[in-house]
Amino acid sequence: GAVVSQHPSWVICKSGTSVKIECRSLDFQATTMFWYRQFPKQSLMLMATSNEGSKATYEQGVEKDKFLINHASLTLSTLTVTSAHPEDSSFYICSARSMGSGELFFGEGSRLTVL
């Protein structure tokens, strides 16, 4: 089946630094990728929809200057958490929609811990 790779799987950073998380579709092209955030023991909350070659669409309440999303190619979207703070610690999951089948595939997630 189709694979979506997220990197890094785990990241620990100091407060005030920026962290970039990559989401790659390994064997298919994706014009649309989605970024979710999951708090402990809670559901996935959609943060933004990322479309290749255009600006991301952010959900209400998500700071676009805080969570920078870039979808520069049909196989890569990146989420940069700028000036991270401890409250940004969370599990971030991306998903990619296949151009061919329209199916949605999920990455394994990236756990961010901000000290």
Partner 1 sequence: AQSVAQPEDQVNVAEGNPLTVKCTYSVSGNPYLFWYVQYPNRGLQFLLKYITGDNLVKGSYGFEAEFNKSQTSFHLKKPSALVSDSALYFCAVRSGNTPLVFGKGTRLSVIA
Q: Binding residues for partner 1, per CB under 8 A?
A: 6, 34, 41-44, 46, 49, 91, 93, 95, 104-109, 111
Give me the least distance between CB of 20 and partner 1, in Å please.
18
Side-chain half-sphere CA neighbours of 92 within 13 A = 30
- Continuous segment of H or E residues that includes residue 105: strand 104-106
Question: What is the rounded CA–CA span in Å between residue 34 and residue 93?
Answer: 8
The residue among 107, 114, 113, 111 whose CA lies nearest residue 35 is: 107
Closer residue to partner 1, CB minimum distance, 68 or 91? 91
Give me the least distance between CB of 113 and partner 1, in Å please.
12
Give me the least distance between CB of 60 and partner 1, in Å please.
11
Closer residue to partner 1, CB minimum distance, 49 or 70? 49
Closer residue to partner 1, CB minimum distance, 68 or 106? 106
Question: What is the rounded CA–CA span in Å between residue 104 and residue 96?
Answer: 6
Give me the least distance between CB of 66 and partner 1, in Å please.
20
